[in-house]
């Protein structure tokens, strides 16, 4: 999905702010900021690296240069691109599902009943974005695992068909 220029501009602003004023462990521990993934660079060089990233984002906005949509390649990319899908799959479809819910439908109903409608709508959008990617069934299974799902989809669904069914079900709530 191509992000709107406003989202890219906000990312640029956040990178510059983070580089000038990196959060300490307490603010990261409170969940106010995500830890920067290990880049292999010394900590003292991270701020300059963030500025380079911000400059690239700014140039992308100014030039209208947007990369072609592609599938996430790493665990981090899957979570960054589909955060609410990861929340649902990792939170409601872990191995504990059998102890908490009688079936997948009950878990989905619990999610929908305890989650703000705007967040549910965001999840539906993420599911549509996931389904629009050029993925085969093996890729959908990989996506489910990367996003935290520890159980299979309900019978008779494949992962892709269940994602479609999930989007349809949550759209009607």
Instruction: Report the range out of 23-32, 67-76, 140-149 with the highest average pLDDT.
Output: 140-149
Q: What is the pLDDT of residue 24?
A: 74
Sequence-ordered list of residues with C-beta below 8 angstroms from that of 12, at least 6 positions apart, any chain: 54, 57, 58, 61
At residue 173 the predicted structure's pLDDT band, cuts being 50, 70 and 90, is: confident
At residue 1 the predicted structure's pLDDT band, cuts being 50, 70 and 90, is: very low
Residue 10: CA atoms inside 13 Å, Cβ hemisphere, count?
A: 5
Query: What's the token pair of residue 104?
Result: 């997948």
Distance of CA 95 to the CA centre of its chain: 21
Over residues 98-120, the mean pLDDT reads 95
User: Nearest-CA neighbor of 72 among 23, 159, 130, 9?
Assistant: 130
Whole-number Å distance between alpha carbons of 28 and 26: 5
Q: What is the pLDDT of residue 4?
A: 61
Whole-number Å distance between alpha carbons of 68 and 39: 24
**Per-residue DSSP letter, 30:** T
Over residues 77-94, the mean pLDDT reads 94
Note whether 60 and 5 are within 8 A (CB): no
Over residues 16-41, the mean pLDDT reads 77
Span 120-170, pLDDT tens digits: 999 999 999 999 999 999 999 999 999 999 999 999 999 999 999 999 999
């Amino acid at each position: 999905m191509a992000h709107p220029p406003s989202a890219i501009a906000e990312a640029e602003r956040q990178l510059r702010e983070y580089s000038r004023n990196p959060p300490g462990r307490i603010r990261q521990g409170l969940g106010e900021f995500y830890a920067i993934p290990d880049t292999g660079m010394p900590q003292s060089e991270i701020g300059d690296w963030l500025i380079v990233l911000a400059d690239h984002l700014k140039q992308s906005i100014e030039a209208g240069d947007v990369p072609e949509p592609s599938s996430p390649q790493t665990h981090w990319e899957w979570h960054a691109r589909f955060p609410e899908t990861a929340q649902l799959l990792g939170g409601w479809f872990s191995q504990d599902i059998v102890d908490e819910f009688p079936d997948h439908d009950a878990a989905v109903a619990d999610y929908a009943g305890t989650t703000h409608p705007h967040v549910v709508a965001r999840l539906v959008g993420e599911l549509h974005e996931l389904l629009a990617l050029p993925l085969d069934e093996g890729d959908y299974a990989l996506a489910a695992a990367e996003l935290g799902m520890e159980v299979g989809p309900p019978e008779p669904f494949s992962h892709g068909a269940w994602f479609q069914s999930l989007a349809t079900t949550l759209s009607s709530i």
